[in-house]
Amino acid sequence: MLPQWIIEKKRNGDALTDDEIREFIQGFTRGTIPDYQMAALAMAIYFRGLSADETAALTEAMLRSGDVLDTASIAAPKIDKHSTGGIGDKVSLILAPLVACCGVAVPMISGRGLGITGGTLDKLESIPGYRTQLATAEFLHIVAACGCSIVGQTERLAPADRKLYALRDVTGTVPSIPLITASILSKKLAAGVDGLVLDVKCGRGAFMPTPETARELAHSLVHVGRQMGKQMTALITSMDQPLGRAVGNALEIVETVAALQGCGPDDLMEVTLALAERMLLLAGVARSAAEAGAMLARQLESGAAWRKFLDMVRLHGGDVATLVHPDRLPRARLQEPLPAPASGFVAAADAEHIGRACLLLGAGRTKTTDAVDHAVGVADLVKIGQPVAQGQPLAVLHANDERRLAAARAQLETAFRITPAAAPPPLPLIREEISL
Ligand code: URA
C-alpha cells in the first residue's frame, strides 16, 4: 500500500493493519518514506488515535527498527523503571542499586533532561569520569557484574523513535497517548527486560498535568506492555512540588548520596520505595509488599545499597572519591538564599516555577544540543506544609553567573506561597496504582 493511502486511512478514522504500520515505520527508518509523510501520519494519529492493537504494532515496529539486546546470559529477572519525568526526580539513582541488592537485574537506558524536567544522565555526568555512552557488550557486562547499569540510548536502539520524536517535537504531535506509549515502550523494551514499573507523574511540574491524562497514559502503557508479553505496573505520583529538597545535577547527586546513606527526604524515599517494592514483586523475589519493603529496608540500613552505587559508578569510570566527599562534586561559585517574605506556612512550592528557575540558571536545556552546567540549581527547598519565619530561606540558589542568578531569583520568587494559617495537607504522593 502506498504511504499516502495509509495516511488517508488513518485520517478517515479507520484502523491500520500490523503490516501497514510495520512497513510505514520501516520505510521511515530507512529514509524511503520522507519526514513529511511521517509527520502527516503522526498528525492523523494525534486526531484519530490508535487502538491498543495498533499501538502494540507501532511499538513492536519501532522496537524492531534497531537492536534488541539479548540479555539471556543474565540469569536474574530483569526489571526496569521508567518515569515520565519530574522536577528533582533522582529516584532512578537510588532505586537501581537498591533493587539490584535484592537479586533483580536493572538494565536501565535513561535520557537527558529537556525543558524543565531533569535527566538522569545529566545527573550522573556530574560525577567526574562517569561514562553514559557504552557499547552494548560493556553495558551487559556491568549489569552481570554488579546487577545494575544506567546508560544512554545508543544510535542503534529504537532509531525510529529518535527520528520520530524529533519530528513530533516540531510538528505539534508530542501530546498523543499512543505515540507517547510507543515511544517509551520501544526504547525500554529494546533493553531486553522482563518487566517494567512506570512512574507516571501528575501535577504542575509534569508532562501529564491532570489525573485524567495521567491515568489514560498509565493504562495505555500497562495494557500495551502486557500485550507484548511483559510484566507491567504503573503508579501515578504527584509532581506539584519537587521531589526532595534539591533540583540541579550535582546537587541531586549530593541528595542521592544522603538517601543511600539513610538520610533521604521523606517524599523522595516514599516514591523510591513504592516503585522499588513493585519491581521486587514483578520480579517474583518478594511475595508481598511487606516482604519487599523489609528486604529494601535491610539493604539501605546495612549500607549495601550505597556500596552497590559506588560499584556501579566505578564500573562506569566515575570518580567515587567525589561521592565519598561530595564537596568535591562540581560546585557553583555563587550561593544566595531566597528569604521568606512573611511568616506562616508554605502553601505552594510550585514544581514548574522551580524547574524554570533551574533552567534559567543553566541546569537544563531548551534544545537537545545545549550544554548543561552541572553545578547550578536550587537546594534546601522548603516543603508544602512547613512553617517558616519571615527572612528564613525558602531555598538557596546555586549559580555561576550574576545575570542568570538575577533572572532565576525573580522566577523562583513566584514559586512559593506563604499563608498565615496551616494549609491543608498536600495530596497523597502515591495517587493510584494501575496494574489492570
Ligand atoms: N518521553 C518519551 O520517551 N517519549 C515521548 O513521546 C514522551 C515522553
pLDDT at 117: 74
- Which atom of ligand 1 is nearest the CA belonging to 174? 6
**Span 374-388, pLDDT tens digits:** 999 999 999 999 999
Buried b (16+ CB within 10 A) or exposed e, 207-242: bbbeeebbbebbbbbbbbbbbeebbbbbbbbbbbbb
Per-domain boundaries in the chain: 3-49, 79-154+165-324, 332-419
Question: Within 10 Å of residue 277's Cβ, how many Cβ atoms?
Answer: 22
Q: Is 141 a catalytic residue?
A: no
pLDDT at 177: 96
CATH topology for 79-154+165-324? Pyrimidine Nucleoside Phosphorylase; Chain A, domain 2 (3.40.1030)
For ligand 1, mutation pick of 184, 185, 208 (most atoms within 8 Å of CB): 184
- Which atom of ligand 1 is nearest the CA belonging to 168? 6
The radius of gyration computed from the CA coordinates of the chain, to the nearest angstrom, equals 22
- Which atom of ligand 1 is nearest the CA belonging to 111? 3
**Span 93-141, pLDDT tens digits:** 999 999 999 999 999 999 887 677 779 999 999 999 999 999 999 999 9
Four-residue CA torsion sign, 280, 281, 285, 289: positive
- Which atom of ligand 1 is nearest the CA belonging to 183? 4
Q: Which top CATH class is 332-419?
A: alpha beta
Amino acid identity at 57 = A
Q: Is 183 a catalytic residue?
A: yes
Is the confidence at residue 423, as pLDDT, over 80? no
List the residue whose alpha carbon is closest to atom 6 of ligand 1.
180
pLDDT at 407: 98
**Annotated active-site residue in 9, 123, 187, 245:** 187
Q: Is 80 a catalytic residue?
A: no
List the residue whose alpha carbon is closest to atom 7 of ligand 1.
180
**Span 214-248, pLDDT tens digits:** 999 999 999 999 999 999 999 999 999 999 999 99
Four-residue CA torsion sign, 268, 269, 271, 275: positive
Stated pTM of the model = 0.95
List the residue whose alpha carbon is closest to atom 8 of ligand 1.
180
Instruction: Spell out which residues line ligand 1, taking CB within 6 angstroms.
Output: 165, 174, 179-180, 183-184
**Annotated active-site residue in 80, 122, 161, 194:** 161
Q: How far is the CA of 303 from the centre of ligand 1 (A)?
A: 34
And the C-alpha cell for 321? 572519591
Residue 23 and residue 165: Cα distance in Å, rounded? 18
Residue 83 burial (C-beta neighbours within 10 Å; 0-12, 13-18, 19+): buried
**Span 159-189, pLDDT tens digits:** 999 999 989 988 999 889 999 999 999 999 9
Q: Is 82 a catalytic residue?
A: yes
CA 373 to each of CA 31, 141, 160, 399, 407: distance values in angstroms, whole numbers, following the listed order:
35, 31, 30, 9, 16
Q: How far is the CA of 172 from the centre of ligand 1 (A)?
A: 13
And the C-alpha cell for 45? 494519529
Share of the chain above pLDDT 90, in %: 89
- Which atom of ligand 1 is nearest the CA belonging to 207? 8
Buried b (16+ CB within 10 A) or exposed e, 423-436: beebeebebeebee
**Annotated active-site residue in 81, 112, 168, 316:** 168
Q: How far is the CA of 266 from the centre of ligand 1 (A)?
A: 28
Question: Rounded mean pLDDT of the chain?
Answer: 95
Q: How far is the CA of 230 from the centre of ligand 1 (A)?
A: 19
Task: Compute φ and ψ for 416, nearest 5 degrees.
Answer: -105, 145
- Tell me the pLDDT band of 204, cut-offs 50, 70 and 90: confident
Q: Is 187 a catalytic residue?
A: yes
pLDDT at 424: 74
Domain 3-49 has CATH 1.20.970.10: yes
List the residue whose alpha carbon is closest to atom 3 of ligand 1.
184
Q: How far is the CA of 387 from the centre of ligand 1 (A)?
A: 37
pLDDT at 206: 86
